[in-house]
Amino acid sequence: MDAPLPPRESAQFIAERSRDVFIDGGGVRRVAELLLAEASGPGLRLEGWKALHELNPQAADEAAVSWVFLTDTLNFSFWSESDEHKCLVKYRGRAYSGYWALCAAVHRALDQGIPITSASYYATVTLDEVRHIFRSDTEVSMPMMEERHRILNETGTILLEKFGGSFLNCVRKSENSAQKLVSLVVENFPSYRDVTQFEGKRVSFYKRAQILVADTWSVLEGKGDGCFTDISSVTMFADYRLPQVLVHLGALKYSDELLKKLRKGEMLSYGDRQEVEIRGCSLWCVELIRDCLLELIDRKSEKPNAEINSILLDYCLWDYARDHREDMKGIPFHRTRCIYY
């Protein structure tokens, strides 16, 4: 079977044929201007990954890389039916939700002596143990617990068989190429194969594979094994938060029909035409925002302290979405239950 289009090309192909999701040129520019103000701050710098997030590993060693691999292997589908009743994990006096609940649960387990980031442990961890490790401190559990258990066993077994139980060995096989690492991950770990169809073409988003490469780059601070020569070729990560924030900021628009459907809380299945259009147009929209931002920076002839790329734009917009949850209440996120994002 022919290889799918890579994410960036997939996004352009989808955006050019989209019927229910549209990119707004004026909105793209306004977001670029909003981010220009950030260009010299920590929000758009690689160092922000550690400095702004207390649950991200602060070290840059093999254990930190293993932590990133474990969390990104489980980095999907945290949204709950109602925002009032959701999974929360308390850790060091704070209650975390969504993706951060996952990270808090990993730290809680490690503090209790459970080696959850070790492949030899999660390759054979039982469902009951997974339920205990990722237990919620509310009556709402983390979604898709059975799928998380299956993926842990599958991924741990493969990591032991093919990479000596350490994701750092896989990183080293990429020889400092981000694209090669994305390929190694999707070729060897089935749960990362975020591929679907659109108008007869096989398209890919590779959301978890790309964020895994980005987080590996971040945790290794862009140095040594984490110094990827082609890191700027990695695109934003097509999840369910970025589309929501891009619509909120006016860079993306939904048709009335789609907006009505999302407002009613209707589910979209993975691979549905509208679901693919939301993900593809969001990815392409961030590429256009990046191009516009780089143009604005050139015009201001203010050299940013480090190269701005789609990863840093994504992190910044995702954090923005987290910090503006209340303002975004009127904009629905699309509800898809899957293991890919």
Ligand X SMILES: Nc1nc2c(c(CN[C@H]3C=C[C@H](O)[C@@H]3O)cn2[C@@H]2O[C@H](COP(=O)(O)O)[C@@H](O)[C@H]2O)c(=O)[nH]1
List residues binding ligand X (CB under 6 A): 49, 53, 56, 75-76, 78-79, 98-99, 211, 215, 236-237, 239-242, 314-315, 318, 322, 341
Q: Residue 69's closest CA among 205, 174, 170, 157? A: 170
Residue 239 bears catalytic tag:
yes
Segments of 52-156 assigned E as strands: 88-91, 94-97
Q: Which of 72, 194, 215, 239 is catalytic?
A: 239
In terms of Cα–Cα distance, which of 219, 265, 165 is closest to 48? 219
Label residue 234 exposed, middle or buried (CB < 10 Å: 0-12, 13-18, 19+): buried
Choice between 18 and 97, CB closer to ligand X: 97
Q: Residue 42 class from Cβ within 10 Å (0-12 exposed, 13-18 middle, 19+ buried)? A: middle
Burial of 285 (0-12, 13-18, 19+ CB in 10 A): buried
Q: What DSSP string runs through 232-244?
A: GG------SSHHH
CB of 60 to ligand X, least distance (A): 14
Choose between 54 and 302: whose C-beta lies nearer to ligand X. Answer: 54
Is residue 227 within 8 Å of 304, Cβ to Cβ? no
175 versus 327: smaller Cβ distance to ligand X: 327
Taking the least distance from each CB to ligand X, the nearer of 82 and 301 is 82
Q: How far is the CB of 96 from ligand X (least distance, A)?
A: 9
Residue 46 or 292 having the CB closest to ligand X:
46
Angle, vertex CA 316, rays to CA 151 and CA 43, nearest 5:
125
Yes or no: say if 55 and 210 are a contact pair by the CB < 8 Å rule.
no
Closest CB 299 distance from ligand X, rounded Å: 28
Minimal CB distance residue for ligand X:
98
Q: Tell me the closest approach of the beta carbon of residue 232 to ligand X, in angstroms.
A: 17
CB of 138 to ligand X, least distance (A): 15
The catalytic residues are 239
